[in-house]
Amino acid sequence: MKTTRIFTYGTLMTGQPNHRLLARAKRIGTARTQPVFDLVDLGPFPGMVTGGSTAVTGEVYAVDRETLAALDRLEGHPRFYQRRTIRLANGQWIAAYIYPQRPPGCPLVPGGDWRNAKGV
């Protein structure tokens, strides 16, 4: 079975409301991105945008084709979030959902860690 490794950083992480979509996925572990992003607070969920200077904290999963399709639907790929390949701090290339641009007035998530920002 072919799988795709995906970096999650918001509501798909363990203990978050959309984590149920990863029920069939294999958790690889925690990870951080290269410090080339910003994590913005969009209210109930975050958005990772390119062009920043933050290393975003998240989790890596190996997902099958059906799970990836479910994640694409949740994230509105490619119209809302765009699934792209990014580089993690350890040099590994991996899929992640990128928010297309930082909306005006949206605050940054301190330290690039959604769970710490939301107290989970």
pLDDT at 120: 54
Confirm if 107 and 38 have CB atoms less than 8 A apart: no
Residue 42: which CATH number?
3.10.490.10
pTM above 0.85, yes or no: yes
Categorise residue 106: left if φ over 0, alpha if ψ from -120 to 50, beta otherwise: beta
> Is 66 marked active-site?
no
User: Residue 84 belongs to what domain range?
Assistant: 4-111
Summarised one tens digit per residue, pLDDT across range 38-60 is: 999 999 999 999 999 999 999 99
Spot the catalytic one: 12, 40, 48, 75: 75
State which residues of the chain have pLDDT below 70.
Answer: 118-120
Please indicate, yes or no, if residue 120 is contained in any of the structural domains.
no
pLDDT at 119: 62
Alpha-carbon separation of residue 82 from 99, 100, 103, 112 (angstroms): 7, 7, 15, 19
pLDDT at 15: 94
Confirm if 41 and 56 have CB atoms less than 8 A apart: no
